[in-house]
Amino acid sequence: MKKGIIIVHTGDGKGKTTAALGLAMRAWGDGLRILILQFIKGGWKYGELEAIRRLGERIEIRQCGHGFTQREKRDHEEDVRAAGEAMEQARAEVKKQCWDMLILDEINYAVQFGLLEEREVLQLLEEKPAELHVVLTGRAATEPVLAMADLVTEMKLIKHPFQKGIKAQKGIEF
């Protein structure tokens, strides 16, 4: 019997979303159906959007956010509303039971900055079907989320080009 596992990619290092997308590619290659909900990203054209679009119907990516960053000054309620709608999508898709893997990209970040309540994430994990794999990404995963996870990887920042004043590169950071 297949056992769906809960996977968390967290930490201050680069590569959390990239690792989750790599896992999605592996799952897609093995015939699984994958849904990726991006809780923060939105508006920009990231490289993964085009790649996933070309893979076809067994994998889908939805940008649910508005590109929230902690450095921007804007209407926080707009970001809260977008995160809430993304969580509603996640709940609805879990109930449909039509996916083998659900990736909740940057959901930990959404909790950290008050866009979502931790209890909502925990409830979704508790209610997931036994065979569904769920991947959560983002910095600052909470202790209760880590406790529920079957696999946790922490990305640790050692060095980043931004520290040398090198701006984000297309194809690398986005």
pLDDT (average), residues 88-96: 98
pLDDT tens digit sequence for 23-51: 999 999 999 999 999 998 776 677 888 88
For residues 57-69, average pLDDT: 85
Confidence label for 71 from pLDDT (cuts 50, 70 and 90): low
For residues 56 and 13, give the distance between their C-alpha atoms in angstroms, rounded to a whole number: 31
Domains in the chain (CATH in brackets) are: 6-45+68-164 (3.40.50.300)
Q: In the predicted model, is pLDDT for residue 64 greater than 60?
A: yes
Residues 102-148 have pLDDT tens digits of 999 999 999 999 999 999 999 999 999 999 999 999 999 999 999 99
Output the six-digit token pair for 80: 């809260």
Q: Is the pLDDT of residue 1 over 70?
A: no
Q: Are strands 59-63 and 6-10 parallel, antiparallel or unpaired?
A: unpaired
Among 1, 4, 37, 3, smallest CA distance to 133 is for 4
pTM above threshold 0.75: yes
- Report the pLDDT value the prediction gives residue 72, as an integer from 0 to 100: 57
pLDDT value of residue 172: 79
User: Does residue 168 surpass a pLDDT of 90?
Assistant: no
pLDDT over 90 (residue 96): yes
**pLDDT, tens digit, for every residue of 145-161?**
999 999 999 999 999 88
HSE toward the beta carbon, residue 147, CA cutoff 13 A: 6
Q: What's the first-to-final CA gap in the chain, in angstroms?
A: 37
